[in-house]
Chain A
């Protein structure tokens, strides 16, 4: 256990050294947050609550989704694929720990950093510029934290599996692009799933991608209460179990393919 905690701590510290990149990235996230907020302000002209979302909810959703980009690491991540290409993966595999658990710990350390230095400041900027809707019920923070943690692990499993596909394909980047296209759209990152046409909305809600953005944000905005809330968390947990099992399965299949040349 101590190994994993240490991996987590080191990953956190590694990201903390890129201070300038953090400030620049924050500016971009916030800029897009501002633009998307104005689009909703214009759309909501002469309109009240739409599909359960008031303008205040919609703008809060925009900033929440911008804030989620880095904790979930929705952009490129090829750390494992690069070690497969260079052969360095052998050193990691020969160490006496669970390979999946090791990378998961590192990713959780990274996510902790991004939560503190990207999620929080982005939300703060949104709150100052537009005024965000925060949870009324203090317990919501707890459910949100749980859902956010599951979202991070869901995202990690997907990134892990695609990276490990580097054992079979040389075009990990192409595959990654395709996968995250679906994530961007079907997770509710670009538009809240509540605004989707009914059929497309039901499909998107039934898919695991909803667990990355839509579910945690729905919980934060208190759009689901009581049983509905419990159901969302349960759905997310089920997909999480499937994703963890899937990622480990891909890893095991890759190990059968691995040939180490003596050197």
Chain B
């Protein structure tokens, strides 16, 4: 509990310092919103021309896209420190974290908390709003609950990717490009229904990095669609469990890496 309150204070400090340069903050948040809005517009343009994709309407895709965009936005807001852990290690910053009586992951998280990622999240919320206004969904309390859990679970999966990638840094002292494939690539991939991809890609995002289980499967329930892959329907509600298990695995790897960590000696 004590460390949670310290964590909140550290993040609060970051937020206050970022709000000092108000114009710059607004510009960057606006830029993040517009940059991701361009992706959403691209989808709308494609549907203006092609109307459906594998039986999914533009409203259905907007739901899937919004779910994933909000989840990645949340992770990206807190994950910058993990993404750049190699730099922190090389500069010796990480060694300072280890000297303080606050859990290291919490400090890494608070070190690079980026409020401007709200722009990215706003774009995802816009997509969800569009999905709702186009009436692709008949809302009910269980569906709303499944959506919220799916967003949270997908955010945890994205965060675990960063955590695993950071854990590998303890050995290699180099950030890996592979994380981009699973984070930025993952958001792109999971914005469309999984059956359209090659079985190899599908397997990668169902069973290795289970992003499809935390986004596509819950979306099937929310939209009331059958699954052409014929996976057990219980999977549509398994997102929190899957995300929890994946996170446990990632955290274990982080702990293992931390024990192996010997500083860079500079």
- Enumerate chain A interface residues (CB-CB to B < 8 A): 21, 24-25, 27-28, 31-32, 34-36, 38-39, 41-45, 47, 50-51, 171, 173-174, 177-178, 181, 184-185, 190-191, 195-197, 200
* Interface secondary structure of A, over-half rule: helix
CB pair A43 B197 closer than 8 Å: no
With A25-B177, A197-B45 known as contacts, the answer to whether A34 contacts B201 (CB < 8 A) is yes
For residue B85, CB closer than 8 A to chain A, the reply is no
Q: Which residues of B contact A177 (CB under 8 A)?
A: 28, 31-32, 35
Q: Which residues of A contact B178 (CB under 8 A)?
A: 24, 27
CB pair B50 A35 closer than 8 Å: no
CA of A181 to CA of B181 in the docked complex: distance in angstroms? Answer: 21
CA of A51 to CA of B49 in the docked complex: distance in angstroms? Answer: 9
For residue B192, CB closer than 8 A to chain A, the reply is yes
With A50-B50, A171-B24, A197-B48 known as contacts, the answer to whether A181 contacts B35 (CB < 8 A) is yes
CB pair B27 A171 closer than 8 Å: yes
For residue B39, CB closer than 8 A to chain A, the reply is yes
- Which residue from chain B places its CB closest to the CB of A21 in the assembled complex? B177
CB pair B53 A39 closer than 8 Å: yes
CA of A178 to CA of B27 in the docked complex: distance in angstroms? Answer: 9
Q: Say how far A24's CB is from chain B's closest CB, in angstroms.
A: 3
CB pair A38 B188 closer than 8 Å: no
CA of A178 to CA of B192 in the docked complex: distance in angstroms? Answer: 27
- Which residue from chain A places its CB closest to the CB of B180 in the assembled complex? A28
CB pair B42 A190 closer than 8 Å: yes
Complex A-B: 19 CB contacts under 8 Å? A21-B177, A24-B176, A27-B177, A28-B181, A31-B185, A32-B188, A35-B201, A39-B53, A43-B50, A43-B53, A44-B50, A45-B54, A171-B27, A173-B28, A174-B24, A184-B38, A191-B45, A196-B45, A200-B45
Contact among B31, B48, B53, B201 with A42 in the assembled complex (CB-CB below 8 Å): B53
Q: Say how far A105's CB is from chain B's closest CB, in angstroms.
A: 29
For residue B41, CB closer than 8 A to chain A, the reply is yes
Contact with A along B159-197 (1 / 0, CB 8 A): 000000000000000001110110011001100110011
Contact among A28, A41, A50, A51 with B196 in the assembled complex (CB-CB below 8 Å): A41
**Chain B: interface size category:** 20 to 34
> Counting chain B CB atoms within 10 Å of each CB, which of A27, A36, A43, A50 scores highest?
A43
Q: Which residues of A contact B35 (CB under 8 A)?
A: 177, 181, 184
Q: Say how far B235's CB is from chain A's closest CB, in angstroms.
A: 22
Q: Say how far A223's CB is from chain B's closest CB, in angstroms.
A: 16
- Which residue from chain A places its CB closest to the CB of B177 in the assembled complex? A24
CA of A34 to CA of B53 in the docked complex: distance in angstroms? Answer: 17
8 nearest A-B pairs in the assembled complex, by CB-CB distance: A24-B177, A177-B31, A42-B196, A190-B42, A174-B27, A185-B38, A43-B50, A195-B49
For residue B100, CB closer than 8 A to chain A, the reply is no
Contact among A38, A44, A174 with B31 in the assembled complex (CB-CB below 8 Å): A174
- Which residue from chain A places its CB closest to the CB of B47 in the assembled complex? A43
Q: Say how far A161's CB is from chain B's closest CB, in angstroms.
A: 18
CB pair B188 A35 closer than 8 Å: yes
> Counting chain A CB atoms within 10 Å of each CB, which of B42, B49, B180 scores highest?
B49
Contact among B31, B41, B184, B198 with A185 in the assembled complex (CB-CB below 8 Å): B41
CB pair A38 B50 closer than 8 Å: no
Q: Which residues of A contact B181 (CB under 8 A)?
A: 27-28, 31
- Which residue from chain B places its CB closest to the CB of A183 in the assembled complex? B38
- Which residue from chain B places its CB closest to the CB of A201 in the assembled complex? B45
- Which residue from chain B places its CB closest to the CB of A24 in the assembled complex? B177
For residue B34, CB closer than 8 A to chain A, the reply is yes
Q: Say how far B12's CB is from chain A's closest CB, in angstroms.
A: 24
Q: Say how far A239's CB is from chain B's closest CB, in angstroms.
A: 21
For residue B144, CB closer than 8 A to chain A, the reply is no
Q: Which residues of A contact B193 (CB under 8 A)?
A: 42
Contact with A along B17-59 (1 / 0, CB 8 A): 0000001100110011011001101100110111001100000
A sample of 5 more A-B contacts (CB under 8 A), given A43-B53, A190-B39, is: A25-B177, A35-B185, A35-B189, A39-B196, A174-B31
Q: Which residues of A contact B34 (CB under 8 A)?
A: 178, 181
CA of A197 to CA of B35 in the docked complex: distance in angstroms? Answer: 20
Q: Which residues of B contact A32 (CB under 8 A)?
A: 185, 188
Q: Which residues of B contact A34 (CB under 8 A)?
A: 198, 201
- Which residue from chain B places its CB closest to the CB of A44 in the assembled complex? B50
CB pair A43 B46 closer than 8 Å: yes
Within 8 A of A (CB), among B191-228: 192-193, 196-198, 201
Q: Say how far B43's CB is from chain A's closest CB, in angstroms.
A: 9
Q: Which residues of A contact B54 (CB under 8 A)?
A: 42, 45
CA of A174 to CA of B21 in the docked complex: distance in angstroms? Answer: 13
Q: Which residues of B contact A50 (CB under 8 A)?
A: 49-50
CB pair B197 A195 closer than 8 Å: no
Q: Say how far B190's CB is from chain A's closest CB, in angstroms.
A: 10
